[in-house]
Structure 1
Amino acid sequence: MKRSFVATLLACTVLGGTGALAQELVTADRVGDPGAPNVLTFRTNPGQSPNNPSPEQNAAFKPIWQEFAEAHPDWQVQFEFFSTDIGGEHARLLEQARAGRAPDCVSVDSFQLALFVQNGVLQPVTSFFEQEEIDDLFPFIREGITGEDGEIYAWWWGTDLRIFYRDTTVMPDAPATWDELQAAASAAAEAGKEGVLFNGGRWEGTAFDWLAHFWSQGGELVDDTGKPIFGEGDNREYMLNALTFYDELVESGAAPSRVANIATYDDFNAAAIAGTAASFIGGHWQRSQIREGMSPEQFANWEVSEIPGPTPDQRATGTGGWTVAAFSDDPAKIEMCVALMREVFMGPANEVVGDLPTRQALFDSLPRFQDEYFTQLRDYLVNGKARPGVPIYPEISNQLQIMMGEVLAQTKEPDAALTDAWNAVNEAYSRM
């Protein structure tokens, strides 16, 4: 009797322990059995990992990671995390990759990807994807992950874009051109509203959002070699057109002078929820944020459209997002990195974090993106434009931010501000 009781107790303990171990296949910094013989190091943002800081997203991600671990019992994925200084983190990562000390697999910011491809530190993954899947990518996505040799060097799984938001009780019709926006925003300002808000402070969002107006005219920041060209020829004219457009919005009162100090999308949400803004240029993700802060009646008055261009046919929108790339030259680790791309990020992660799918077919198949809103975004992505992944881009952005601040604060005319930005970028380029 005693031996039988002890045996039963031990059996229950073992079974209970097995259940506990199953739960531990997913921890904040590891996915997989800690005793698995094969290890893949994966550096990423916390939001793209089991360490996601959002309780809701963390809970939604956990079964995805659990299923991945169970599908690959001989592997454990050990996570390393980026800090919030993404630019600095990527610079450090490039140095590590050159020295052969990079993690096996990494989430690489889409606009930094070309820099890693050019330095020859990524492994091609073309053979792991069907041509149909590659062809289904939005054009700017496919171009962004393809090297000059025609190989695919990463999988760009999630993207975003900038759009135009408006309160239809103040601005009934969506402006299609710069002139229409200025007229509508001026009328809203005369009615006591902030006509149009946009980023104008010292941060990357200011340069990136504004570049849509430059790109819509056909402008290019750099040539095929990565050399700056935005301050010469037609590109200079396009820059001046776009800069003068913003200058006139502030001078006319269509945009409040405080845009020169806006350096966060949260300001737009606050103004929209408070009912003080008639329109703003922001990110697609803000729709859910303002919905949470508004009554259903107030939210029903807000609609989105493409960012107005010089003419109705000239449109562009800045697109960002994240890729997953293989740094290890170990074939088994490359295959596991691709497994992460396919089984975790291409579809499931879009559902969890809300980043837009990069394959057009996924807009049809993923439940989260069946809303009419996402049908609009799918159409807008055709005009998506990514930042050039070249070494000089951070300094270009820095100088564009300075230029924008000077013009919006009315301390420098557009032509002079552009000349100064162009000279500063060329001086920095000469030192590279």
Structure 2
Amino acid sequence: MLAGAAWGTILSGAGAQELVTKDLVGKPDAPKSLVLRLAGDGPNSPDPDWAAGYAKLFGDFIAKHPDWKFEMQTMSNDIGQEQARMLEQVKSGRGPDCAAVDSFQLALFKSSKVLKPMTAYFKPEEVSDLFPYVQQGIKGDDGEIYAWWYSTDLRVLYRNKSVVPEAPKDWSELKKAALASVDEGTEGFLFNGSRYEGTVFDWLSNFWSQGGQLVDDKGKPVFAAGENRAKILKAIGYYKDLVDSGAAPKRVTTIGNYNDLNAAAAAGTTALFVGGNWQLAQLKNTLDEDEYANWTFDQIPGPTADARSTGTGGWTLASFTDDREKTEMCATVAREIYAGPGTALQQNLPTAKALFTKFDVYKTPEFQKFGELLQYGQARPGVPIYPEISNQLQIAMGDVLSGTKTPEQALDAAAAAVDAAYKRL
């Protein structure tokens, strides 16, 4: 009902009534228009509370810009396919003016030369307040800003304190805690392990915490060469040892969905798992109050207590139009709707440090801790070859954890496939 009300409600602001519907924001006869494509984060959100919240945000916004109307488009849940389709549409001149681009795909859009510079529409102090990996991700080789990264996330270690009282400080302590939890009747340590992007991204902290690099400064794959080879084998071997020892169950090779991890926590079959920051709210909504009180989160352990890293992702807003006025409006929507109030509405993590003190939702101990952990954040490398690196490492991980290949054999096969793909770019 809330979603329907959001679509059909006449919102008032600045003395004028503005229409916010499923397909249109603003007056139908407004002289200026922007085709805006979103990933469900807007008045057309499937979540009724978010839909109502965004309807208010867009209504207030359009009241300040009465000459504009937004033609709203919404992506399906198949984000990978949607992003690929949008890239092809943009290349052929049929794409939206402004759209949400997954940070995972941003490098591909940048390398395709379809993004329009937005540098002029953001102040230097706004850029400098972004987390370092965000600043790096939105800029091109020419130093121009090609998208505004408005929300982010990170991976953490979730822990049931009633089973595992102390936070593991390194790999060896995590293995010990997982084995002890098995003795308490759980499956041990759970993680995504099937052929799935989340499998690689969640695991990469174990490689990055050693200082490992997937690609060099030119975007060439180097993960299987030199010092990186030893580091990545060590990270793969770590997961293999967890499964071989029983600290993690063999069924991790079938887990490829964060909801599966939530389900295990709710069923009491695990006390340790790697997941995203957003899962804390999901656990709170799923578990009884007393059960939820047992859960906390920690930094993902590295090989040593002082070696730390965590994977970070999120969403950006980018412009594809040659019309500079539309590009400026795209940047304004990113700043005034998404980078602050929209992110707070959905309780996603902001990309700017100042926002952790601006919105009340981020002033809780949990969000303050998430903010502290973002300093260890590392984004997937902004290069076109990354998706193939991930694909091949997913295959390698499955082969190793299922026992069909040794880590060396699996890594060599992955490296050969990635190198062949790189030569075709």
TM range (shorter): over 0.9
Q: Which moved more, 1:183-192 or 1:197-206?
A: 183-192
Contact 1:213–1:242 at 8 Å: present in 2 too? Answer: yes
Tell me which residue corresponds to 1:226.
Answer: 219
Amino acid at match of 1:51: N
Tell me which residue corresponds to 2:6.
Answer: none
Matched residue of 1:111: which SS? coil
Larger gyration radius, structure 1 or structure 2:
1
**Pick from 101, 112, 133: which aligns with 2:126?**
133
Separation in 2 of the partners of 1:41 and 1:60?
A: 21
Indicate yes or no: 2:318 matched with 1:325. yes
Q: CA deviation at 1:161?
A: 0.6
Separation in 2 of the partners of 1:71 and 1:33?
A: 12
Amino acid at match of 2:366: Y
Separation in 2 of the partners of 1:88 and 1:295?
A: 37
Indicate yes or no: 2:243 matched with 1:250. yes
Indicate yes or no: 2:26 matched with 1:45. no
Tell me which residue corresponds to 1:9.
Answer: none
Misfit runs of 4+, over 4 Å: none
Indicate yes or no: 2:195 matched with 1:202. yes
Tell me which residue corresponds to 1:182.
Answer: 175
Indicate yes or no: 2:309 matched with 1:316. yes
What pairs up with 1:373-412 in 2 under 5 angstroms? 373-412=366-405
Q: CA deviation at 1:18?
A: 11
Separation in 2 of the partners of 1:241 and 1:76?
A: 54
Tell me the alpha carbon deviations over residues 145-182 of structure 1, each in whole angstroms, 9 at most, x when there is no partner: 11222221111000011000111111111011111101
Amino acid at match of 1:28: K
Separation in 2 of the partners of 1:56 and 1:92?
A: 29
**Pick from 319, 322, 340: which aligns with 2:333?**
340
Separation in 1 of the partners of 2:117 and 2:85?
A: 22
Amino acid at match of 2:241: E
Separation in 1 of the partners of 2:321 and 2:423?
A: 33
Amino acid at match of 1:29: D
Tell me the alpha carbon deviations over residues 168-211 of structure 1, each in whole angstroms, 9 at most, x when there is no partner: 11111101111110111111112221221000011111111111
What pairs up with 1:12-411 in 2 under 5 angstroms? 25-46=19-40, 48-411=41-404
Tell me which residue corresponds to 1:11.
Answer: none
Q: Which moved more, 1:162-171 or 1:122-131?
A: 122-131
Separation in 1 of the partners of 2:233 and 2:378?
A: 19
Contact 2:213–2:222 at 8 Å: present in 1 too? Answer: yes
Contact 1:128–1:338 at 8 Å: present in 2 too? Answer: yes
Separation in 1 of the partners of 2:379 and 2:388?
A: 16
Q: CA deviation at 1:390?
A: 2.3
Q: CA deviation at 1:118?
A: 2.8
Matched residue of 2:35: which SS? strand
Tell me the alpha carbon deviations over residues 194-243 of structure 1, each in whole angstroms, 9 at most, x when there is no partner: 22100001111111111111111111112222221111111111110110
TM-score between both structures, scaled by the size of structure 2:
0.94
Matched residue of 1:401: which SS? helix
Structure 1 unaligned residues grouped into runs of 5+ = 1-16
Separation in 2 of the partners of 1:113 and 1:381?
A: 20
Alignment root-mean-square deviation, CA? 1.6
Separation in 1 of the partners of 2:88 and 2:268?
A: 48
Separation in 1 of the partners of 2:370 and 2:331?
A: 27
Q: Which moved more, 1:293-302 or 1:373-382?
A: 293-302
Separation in 2 of the partners of 1:27 and 1:253?
A: 53
Contact 2:18–2:59 at 8 Å: present in 1 too? Answer: no
Q: CA deviation at 1:304?
A: 0.6
Amino acid at match of 1:26: V
Separation in 2 of the partners of 1:136 and 1:392?
A: 29
Separation in 1 of the partners of 2:387 and 2:141?
A: 22
Amino acid at match of 2:164: M
Tell me which residue corresponds to 1:6.
Answer: none
Separation in 2 of the partners of 1:144 and 1:225?
A: 15
Amino acid at match of 1:359: A
Matched residue of 1:385: which SS? strand
Q: CA deviation at 1:416?
A: 0.9
TM-score between both structures, scaled by the size of structure 1:
0.92
Contact 1:30–1:77 at 8 Å: present in 2 too? Answer: yes
Q: Which moved more, 1:80-89 or 1:311-320?
A: 80-89
Structure 2 unaligned residues grouped into runs of 5+ = 1-9
Indicate yes or no: 2:413 matched with 1:423. no
Q: CA deviation at 1:267?
A: 1.4
Q: CA deviation at 1:250?
A: 0.4
Separation in 1 of the partners of 2:50 and 2:223?
A: 40
Contact 1:112–1:390 at 8 Å: present in 2 too? Answer: no
Contact 1:25–1:69 at 8 Å: present in 2 too? Answer: no
Q: CA deviation at 1:23?
A: 6.7
Matched residue of 1:360: which SS? coil
Tell me which residue corresponds to 2:3.
Answer: none
Equivalences, count: 413
Q: CA deviation at 1:93?
A: 2.6
Amino acid at match of 1:285: W
Amino acid at match of 1:101: R
CA 1:101–1:201 in 2, change beyond 3 Å: closer, same or farther?
Answer: same
